[in-house]
Amino acid sequence: MLFTLGGDGVVAILNESDFSVVQRLRITEKKLRAISFHPDGDLALLGCGDGSIVLLELPTLKILDRFQAHALIFQ
């Protein structure tokens, strides 16, 4: 699986052979800034421009939880 994070708040899974979009999900209205994968490959954490962190189930892109970062965020 290949993933893209968008400035539009969308995460997308791409087909590895032709890079076509297999699935996409809007996570936030702000930019997605980072992604980190669990070693088992079944979970991902997304860092969002609104200061939240989103826990996703893979490959379904089901949102399992959302955490708000500290109120003091440096831009």
Which residue would you say has higher pLDDT here, 12 or 69?
12
Give per-residue pLDDT as tens, 13-70.
Answer: 999 999 999 999 999 999 999 999 999 999 999 999 888 999 999 989 999 999 987 6
pTM over 0.95: no
Q: How far apart are CA 30 and CA 26, in angstroms?
A: 10
Q: How far apart are CA 29 and CA 50, in angstroms?
A: 8
> Which CATH code fits 2-68?
2.40.10.480
Domain boundaries, the chain: 2-68
Q: How far apart are CA 67 and CA 39, in angstroms?
A: 21
Length of the chain: 75
Other CB atoms within a 10 A radius of the CB of residue 18 amount to 6
Other CB atoms within a 10 A radius of the CB of residue 55 amount to 15
